[in-house]
Chain A
Amino acid sequence: MAARMLPSEKDPIGPEGTATVSITVDGHAATGILGQSIAGIIMAGERLGFRQTAKLDRPRGVFCGIGVCFDCLVEVNGLSDVRACQRKASEGDVVVTARDPQPRGGAA
C-alpha cells in the first residue's frame, strides 16, 4: 500500500505522453514519465521517506508538495538542498537521499 502512479490507460483524463525519464536514487535506477518531479518518481517507487532528520533521526518526505516546507530536500548531481517536489527530473539525474541535507542553522 503506497503512493502510486495512475496508469494512463485507467486514467479518466487520458494523458498521452509516454516518453520516460531515467534517474538514479541512492544508486538504484528509477524511471518516471517525462515531466515528473524527482519527488513524484521517488514516491511512485513506493518510498515516502526521503531523508532522516539531523536532530531526532526521524524520516521525512514530501509534506506540502508545493515548494514551501523544504521537507523533501535531496541532493541532485552533487548539489545539495534541492526541493524534490519542485525539480523536474532530467535524464541521468543522480539523486542522493540517504543523508540529511537539512542545513544546521544557528550556533553549533
Chain B
Amino acid sequence: MSEVLVIGAGPAGLAAARAASDAGASVVLLDASDALGGQFWRHLPETRPARNEKYLHHGWSTFRALGEALESSPTVTIIRSAQVWAIEVLDGVAVHAMIGEPDGARRERRVFRPDALVLATGAHDRTLPFPGWDLPGVFTGGAAQALAKGERLAVGERVLVAGAGPFLLPVAQSLTRSGSRVIGVLEANRAARLARGWSPRPWQLLGAAGKGLELAGYAAGHVRHRIPYRLGRAVIAAHGTDRVGSVTVAKVDAQWAPVPGTEHTLEVDAVCVSHGFTPRIELAIAAGCELTPNRFVAVDGNQRTTTDGVYAAGEITGIGGVDLALAEGEIAGHFAAASATESVSAPPTAAIRRRRVFTGFAHRIEAAHGIRSGWSGWLTDSTLICRCEEVDFGSMRAAAVATESESFRSLKLGTRAGLGICQGRMCGRTTEELLCALNPNRELSDGAVSDRRPLASPLRIGELAHPSSQNNARKGTP
C-alpha cells in the first residue's frame, strides 16, 4: 500500500491525514507533541479529562471528529513525540525523526521514506523586541495559550495583551477563562488601517461568516469582561528586576513609531506580546521547496510544492487561520494520496471552495495587521535583539555601520545575532530587517536567510551514534 507521511498534527496535518486515508493511502502522522491538535487545539492531557473542554476552543467538535477518525483507522499510524530533525531529497524523500520524550537522551531514531509527504508544520508567534522583553513574566501570546489550555495555568493575575492581529482576542479570552484579569488588549494598528484592510470588498467575507461569528464571539467576551481594546497603542518597554512588574505603553503612529509624550506606565504581573506569526519552514527548505516572495512555501492549486511528491498546507503557505488550514490540509492530503497511489479521483471541490473564501481572509489579516517598520523607534541601544546570544541593538548597529556589509551571513557571524540555540527562530527575521535597514543601500545581497536550518532541531551527539530503523522502504528499493 502506498504511503503518505504527514508532519504536524495541527488542523492542517489532521485534515491532510484524514483526506489521504480516505483516498486510499496508508498514512503515517508524526507530531513532536504527545497529543494531537497542534498549538491551535492544545488541550489537557488524557490523564486529566475535562467535561467542557470545548469552552476553551473554536472548532472543538471538528478536532474530536478528526482525531477519532484517525485513531480508529487501521491504515493510519500516529506517532507522537516524534521530532523531525532533517529531511533529505535524493531518490525520493527521507525524513529523519527522533522518537521519545522531548530533549531526552535515549530516543529512537527512525527514517521514513514515504511515497508522498505533506508538510503541515505550522507557525509560531513573532514578537518584536522591546526594552525588557527578556524579563520573566513577558510571554508570547502562544505561551499564555499553551499554559492556559494545556495545564489550566494562568500566566499572571493582572495581565496586559499587546501586539497586532486578531489572534490577540482569543489570547485574552483564554486568559480570562483561566483566572487572569486582562487589563487591556492593545492593537498597534489604527482604526483607519484596520478599516482599509478589512472592508474594501466586504462581500468576500460573506462566505467566511463563521469567521465573522468567531470574531464576534471574542468581541462579546471582551464586552462582558470589560476588557478595553485600544487601537494604535503598543507596549514599548517592560520593567522589573527579577520579573516584570510594570510596562510602558505609548501611542504609535500609522507606521508603528512611538509618539513621544504619550507614554504611561501600567502595573502588571504578566504581559503577553505577539506581533504576528513566523511560519516554520525549515523542513520545507530542507526538502528543496521554493518559497514565495513573502517567504511562505510556494504551492500550486493542488497544494503541491516545487519538490516532487512533497505537499504543504496550513500556516507555512500563508498565515490564514484554522479554516484555511483545514481546507488546505484536505486538498494536500487528497492529492498526496493520488500521487502516492498513482490514482485519479474526483477533486475535493468543497475544500477548494473553502480555501478560496479563507484565502481572502488571510490577505485581509496581513493588510490590516502586518508589521510596520516604525517599531524600531522603541528600541534602545541596550535592548536585546537576540535573546540566546544576548546581542543588543547598539552592538548590532555598530557592526552594521562600521562594516557597511551587505552580507547577512557575515553580520550574523560578526554580531552573533541569530546564532544561539533557538537557531534564530525568535530573532532571525527581526535581525534581517534591522540589519537591512542599517545598511547604506538598504539591502542584504548575499541571499542568506534566517530560515535555513539544516538541523531542524538540536540533537545530542550520542543519539546520532545509535543506528536508525528504516520505515516503509520505497517501492522498488531494497
Q: What residues of chain A have their CB less than 8 Å away from a CB belonging to chain B?
A: 1-6, 8, 10-17, 19, 33-37, 39-40, 43-44, 48-50, 53-56, 58-71, 73, 79, 81-83, 85-88, 102-103, 105-106
CB <8 Å contact, B153 and A4: yes
Residues from chain A with a CB closer than 8 A to the CB of B420 are 70, 102, 105
9 contacts between A and B (CB under 8 A): A16-B50, A33-B48, A35-B45, A36-B153, A40-B147, A48-B243, A49-B243, A64-B140, A71-B387
Residues from chain A with a CB closer than 8 A to the CB of B270 are 3
Q: Write the nearest CB–CB distance from B332 to chain A, whole angstroms.
A: 23
CB <8 Å contact, B140 and A70: no
Which of B51, B101, B139, B158 contacts A13 (CB under 8 A)? B51
Q: Write the nearest CB–CB distance from A44 to chain B, whole angstroms.
A: 6
Residues from chain A with a CB closer than 8 A to the CB of B253 are none
Which residues of B in the span 356-390 have a Cβ within 8 Å of any Cβ on A?
Answer: 387-390
Size band of the interface chain B makes with A: 35 or more
Choose among B47, B53, B458 the residue with the greatest number of A CB atoms under 10 Å from its CB: B47
CB-defined interface of B150-168 with A at 8 Å, one 1/0 digit per residue? 1111111110000000000
Give bound CA distance, A54 to B421, whole Å: 13
CB <8 Å contact, B387 and A5: no
Residues from chain B with a CB closer than 8 A to the CB of A2 are 156-157, 269
Residues from chain B with a CB closer than 8 A to the CB of A71 are 387, 422
Beta-carbon nearest neighbor of B44 in chain A: A15
Residues from chain B with a CB closer than 8 A to the CB of A10 are 179
Residues from chain A with a CB closer than 8 A to the CB of B178 are 6
Which residues of B in the span 168-213 have a Cβ within 8 Å of any Cβ on A?
Answer: 177-179
CB <8 Å contact, A70 and B157: no
Which of A5, A61, A67 contacts B102 (CB under 8 A)? A67
CB <8 Å contact, B153 and A6: yes
Residues from chain A with a CB closer than 8 A to the CB of B39 are 66
Residues from chain B with a CB closer than 8 A to the CB of A4 are 153-154, 157, 179
Give bound CA distance, A9 to B389, whole Å: 43
**Stretch in contact with the other chain, from B61-69, B129-137, B290-298, B306-314:** B129-137
Give bound CA distance, A67 to B135, whole Å: 18
